[in-house]
A and B are shown apart, each in its own frame.
Chain A
Amino acid sequence: MIPTLLTLLPADDSSWITFDVPSLMQNFWSATFDGLTFGSIYALVALGYTLVYGVLNLINFAHSEVFIMGCYGVFFTLNFLGFGPSAPNLSLGSIIVNLLLALIVAMVASALTAFLLERLAYRPLRRRNAPRLVFLITAIGASFTIQYTIFLVRGPNPEAALTMFRPRPIFDVFGTIVDSQQLLIVIAAVIMMIFVDRFISTSRTGRGIRAVAQDPDTATLMGVNKERIIVTTFVIGGILAGAAALFYVMKIPSGVQYNGGFILGIKAFAAAVLGGIGNVRGALVGGLLLGLIGNYGQILLGNSQWTDVVAFVVLVLVLLLRPEGILGTSLGRSRA
């Protein structure tokens, strides 16, 4: 049976998996820039997983739904502002105003979802000291509930694609053009993450977050309001997911769908684990790396669906070889 298996798989159709090194060489830079763009989005979502994991030691499965609510926020804003499938000719100023508007709505939608999630689903469990398994099952149940509420309201199909602006070439590197969209996403994401990193390591609330991550009981004894810190963490994760949602809709306008957050959530989690879960900088490193690996893998293996498989294999390999991730240190131990 095994020899049959071996001879059969490639003979059937040789193009399902390739090791197309020339193609990768040819598209290396465009794959890199695109990978970094997607990587920034993963990183922003991964930060939500990492922060909640750091503080509560819980994989917040519903974070992908926090993200998709942000996507719907962007979609409805753009719909309201009258955007269509093709990009209108707007001045730079009005583009910025529209983007900021969509960003704010997305952030509010996501943060609100995260806040409600914490209040309605997780807080009652914390009250009665429920064990880990109960948290996880609730998280997946909440994720499911939000997904299928959206499904009932908006139906199974993706929303119409709305484009905000036409990416303009900015400069080229080794003959590959970097456009304004890619540049905007990467720079904005990195600035946000630096801001969050600073916030956590210098502000009073940030110190509280680190204290709770390190030891919730001692932190409470030292006068940290644990409940408030936990809510804040969820809201910060939500705000970042909202930003990620805007960039995601920019990049993939047709990706707004009731289950659109699912795979992205798993990839973002994989990114968080890759960088070192519980580590803010790790989320950035893991996200960018996963974006790159996924894009290279997809070109090398010759099918866009391989990105998901590659991300998954990376997750399993990281867990197998270096479960603490690349940067390893956790939220509680990060230096002030």
Chain B
Amino acid sequence: MSMTDGPTALPGAGADQAAADRESKGTPPGSSAAAPRRGWFAGWSERWQAMPRQQQWALLLVVVVLAYLLPVIDPPLISTEPGNDFPLACQTMAIYALVAVGLNVVIGYAGLLDLGYIAFFAVGSYTAAMLTSPDSTFLKIPYLWTIPVAMAVTMFFGVMLGVPTLRLRGDYLAIVTLGFGEIVRILATIIPAMKGQVGFQNVGHPPGVQSNGVPVFANSNGVPWYWLTLTILIIVLLLAGNLERSRVGRSWIAIREDEDAAETMGVPTFKYKVWAFAIGASIGGLSGALYSGQVGFVNNQKFDVVTSILFVAAVVLGGAGNKVGAILGGAIVAYIPLRFTAIADYKYLIFGLTLCLIMIFRSHGLLAARQRLLAYGRHAYAAVRSSHDAKAKTALGGEAPS
């Protein structure tokens, strides 16, 4: 924060104050700072808040059912162009959405820029592949068991990478993760056990065989994979929502808004940053494991660092800090090149430009982050205040408040 200190763990306070003041005036992506911030769908969000609980649940149920039915209905206008199988496109969208939800924990909640998220995705993919593919000489376990193993392994990598870098200011994390994204690919090339470009064929899949002898979870059979991914996505979403509302989530948002202030207020910022990073990493690993299972083949060519910038674009496009936005962003980033194959070659340019333009002109993306946490704080304060006033009034006037 200080303009002069460089990478000190605890920058000097003097020059900091000015910088802190300056920063606090600006509003981070997905921030809930003083100025009202609205996504393009702000009206919807208000209408949603105003609805009774039952109505919300009913509407949510409809949305979920529609989401499950999406590849089966295959709506004509939305459907991808011939050559891109629509159920598989749905699966890709679901994977991207899952990745975006995971990355949103890191970027959106804790405000840490992870530019090498593909590395965690790759670690998850390789873990699943090496534990199930006949090409690897490791111990073999059933595919579904690789999912928790992949999450644990990537979480370990996340902690390993996070501990040295998260003590410093956030921008070091950005470049270290960017480097890590490339290093994983290089290591996959160099280390023979990871089989470089040859890769691992026949990565495992969940059990189940159709009547004609073809496995339910065949590589080309998008629908069951999509349903599996969607189910996991919903579970992750519920867990992430709970985290967001918990003490951990509040700490993340405090760190995102102003790290020094959070530290001063007694939030163990380093611990919660590592948590955010590790949880984000494990969701990346989870999506990687799902991806490698569906594709059935993993090699070092699949995990380009540029793809991690697409992931960041997904989160930013959707609105950092908003999990529904992240899903939307992830789905859009995956969907556009598949739907409009004519512009598929331009996707990196398009999303790179989108990233810049959104940041310059509209830093909160499609759906702005929720303001409820701060709003909740204000309500609580107002409630305490009014009851206090009421008590004072009773004490003074001796009249019972109505």
- Contact flag A133-B164 (CB < 8 Å), given A145-B353, A279-B6, A323-B9: no
Are the CB atoms of B6 and A308 closer together than 8 Å?
no
B164→A320 contact, CB < 8 A: yes
Chain A residues near B352 (CB-CB < 8 A): 141-145, 147-148
Tell me the A78-124 residues at the B interface (CB within 8 Å): 121, 124
| A57 interfacial by beta-carbon distance below 8 Å | yes
Nearest-neighbor residue (CB-CB) of B347 within chain A: A148
> For the complex, is A280 an interface residue (Cβ under 8 Å from B)?
no
Q: Please tell me if B305 contacts chain A, counting CB pairs below 8 Å.
A: yes
- The answer to whether the Cβ of A55 comes within 8 Å of any Cβ in the partner chain is yes
Closest to A333 in B: B4
Q: Nearest Cβ in chain B — how far from A191, in angstroms?
A: 26
> Would you call B26 and A131 a contact (CB within 8 A)?
yes
B3 and A216 within 8 A (CB): yes
CB pair B3–A213 under 8 Å, yes or no, is yes
Q: Is the CB of A125 within 8 A of B179?
A: no
Q: How far is the CB of A80 from chain B (nearest CB, A)?
A: 27
What residues of chain B lie closer than 8 Å to A328, measured between beta carbons?
Answer: 6
A186 at interface by CB-CB < 8 Å: no
**Stretch of A9-17, A35-43, A157-165, A248-256 with 4 or more beta carbons under 8 angstroms from chain B:** A9-17
Of the candidates B27, B138, B306, B346, the one whose C-beta lies within 8 Å of that of A8 is B138
**Closest Cβ–Cβ distance, residue B118 to chain A (whole Å):** 13
- Kindly identify, within residues 267 to 323 of chain A, every residue whose CB is under 8 Å from any CB belonging to chain B: 269-270, 273, 276-279, 303, 305-306, 308-309, 311-312, 315-317, 319-320, 323
Q: Which residues of B contact A259 (CB under 8 A)?
A: 306
- Is A324 an interface residue, CB under 8 A from the partner? yes
Q: Is A28 an interface residue (CB 8 A)?
A: no
**A129 and B7 contact, Cβ closer than 8 Å, known pairs A16-B190, A140-B115, A145-B349:** no
Residues of B within 8 Å of A184, CB to CB, are: none
Residue-wise, chain B 1-17 has the 8 Å CB interface mask toward A (1 for contact) of 11111111100000100
Contacting pair B363 A134 (CB below 8 A)? yes
Interface pair A13/B192, CB less than 8 Å apart: yes
Cβ contacts under 8 Å, B379 to chain A: none
Nearest CB of A to B263, in Å: 16
Distance between Cα atoms of A137 and B103 in the complex (Å): 14
Task: Please tell me if the beta carbons of A324 and B353 are within 8 angstroms of each other in the complex.
Answer: no
Given A133-B170, A142-B356, A333-B4, decide whether A5 and B138 contact each other with a Cβ distance below 8 A.
yes
Given the known interface contacts A131-B27, A144-B306, A323-B168, the answer about A136 and B174 at a Cβ–Cβ threshold of 8 Å is yes
Which of chain A's residues have a CB closer than 8 A to the CB of B186?
305, 308-309
Interface size class on chain A is 35 or more
Residues of B contacting A5 in the complex (Cβ-Cβ under 8 angstroms): 138
Report B-chain residues with C-beta under 8 Å of the C-beta of A141.
309, 313, 352-356, 359
Q: Annotate B195-218 by CB proximity to A: 1 below 8 A, 0 otherwise.
A: 000000000000000000000000
Name the contact of A121 in the complex, choosing from B174, B193, B356 (C-beta under 8 A).
B356
Residues of B within 8 A of A16 (CB): 190-192
Contacts known (A131-B27, A132-B171); A144 close to B348, Cβ less than 8 A: yes
B137 on interface, CB distance cutoff 8 Å: yes
B183 touches A138 (CB 8 A): no
* A206 close to B (CB within 8 Å): no
Output the nearest chain B residue to A12 by Cβ-Cβ distance. Answer: B192
Q: Which residues of A contact B348 (CB under 8 A)?
A: 144, 147-148, 151
A325 at the interface (CB under 8 A from B): yes
161-195 of chain B: CB within 8 A of chain A: 161, 164-165, 167-168, 170-172, 174-176, 178-180, 182-183, 186-187, 189-193
Please tell me if A222 contacts chain B, counting CB pairs below 8 Å.
no
A77 close to chain B: CB less than 8 A: no
Interface: A225 (CB within 8 A) = no
Check A58 for interface membership: any CB of B closer than 8 A.
yes
Q: Are B171 and A128 in contact (CB under 8 A)?
A: no
Known: A131-B27, A140-B309, A305-B189. A149 touches B349 (CB 8 A): yes
Mark out the residues of chain A between 27 and 79 whose CB falls within 8 Å of any chain B CB in the assembled complex: 53-55, 57-59, 61
B271 within 8 A of A: no
Tell me the B residues contacting A by CB distance below 8 Å: 1-9, 15, 18-19, 22-23, 25-29, 31, 107, 111, 113, 115, 137-139, 161, 164-165, 167-168, 170-172, 174-176, 178-180, 182-183, 186-187, 189-193, 305-306, 309, 312-313, 316, 345-346, 348-349, 351-356, 359-360, 363
Q: Beyond the given A134-B29, A324-B7, please list 10 additional residue pairs across the A-B interface where CB-CB is below 8 A.
A: A12-B192, A55-B3, A125-B360, A137-B312, A145-B349, A152-B349, A266-B179, A273-B7, A308-B183, A332-B4
Closest 6 CB pairs of A and B: A141-B355, A144-B352, A332-B4, A320-B164, A141-B356, A148-B349
